Amino acid sequence: MSERLDFKQMCARFDVTPRTLRHYEYIELLSPDREGRARFYGARDIARMTLILRGRKFGFSLEEIRQWLELYDADPEGRTQMKAWITLADGQLDELAERRRHLDEAIAELRGLREHVAANMPDA
């Protein structure tokens, strides 16, 4: 029998808030089974949640993640999805490298300013 989580278990498993989980459902990233008011997440939703959180960690927008996940439904063999992933990953790697460059510049400038102030601070 495949794994099945209820709403509370899904939040705990992925360390997300109920609001986040409901939002992912609202924008159709997840589609749990419903029994009355209860929601149950199967293997597909658990796998999708893993990919969603990984994508967020890498800085992808929810829309980019949604579009990428939809490609799997169109091509279950995954070739289209894999090609799209490579393109997205290349773009995100460039973006992250640019952010790193800006952070390195800011760190160097702040470090220099701090050292200048520390060296010129009057003795108390």
- How much of the chain exceeds pLDDT 70, in percent? 98
CB-count exposure of residue 76 (10 Å: 0-12, 13-18, 19+): exposed
The dihedral of CA 43, 46, 51, 54: what is its sign? negative
Contact 13, 30 (CB under 8 A): no
Of 9, 31, 57, the one marking the end of a domain is 57
| Residue 67 pLDDT level (bands cut at 50, 70, 90) | confident
Number of domains in the chain: 2
CATH code at position 42? 1.10.1660.10
CA 2 vs. chain centroid, Å, equals 25
Residue 59 backbone zone (phi > 0: left; psi -120 to 50: alpha; other: beta): left
Residue 39 has pLDDT above 60, yes or no: yes
Q: What is the predicted pLDDT for the residue at 79?
A: 82
Q: Are residues 116 and 89 in the same domain?
A: yes
| Residue 34 pLDDT level (bands cut at 50, 70, 90) | very high
Q: Are residues 74 and 114 in the same domain?
A: yes
Question: 60 in helix, strand or coil?
Answer: coil
Residue 78 has pLDDT above 80, yes or no: no
Question: 69 in helix, strand or coil?
Answer: helix
Question: 35 in helix, strand or coil?
Answer: strand
| Residue 74 pLDDT level (bands cut at 50, 70, 90) | confident
Distance CA 106, CA 100 (A): 10
Q: Are residues 48 and 77 in the same domain?
A: no
Contact 88, 63 (CB under 8 A): no
Q: Are residues 66 and 52 in the same domain?
A: no
pTM: 0.77
Q: Are residues 1 and 28 in the same domain?
A: yes
Rg of the chain (C-alpha set): 22
Q: What is the predicted pLDDT for the residue at 83?
A: 87
Residue 124 has pLDDT above 70, yes or no: no
Residue 97 has pLDDT above 90, yes or no: yes
Instruction: Find the domain containing 13 and state its range.
Output: 1-57
pLDDT digits (tens, 9 = 90+) for 43-63: 999 999 999 999 999 999 999
Tell me the residue type at 53: L
Q: Are residues 42 and 67 in the same domain?
A: no
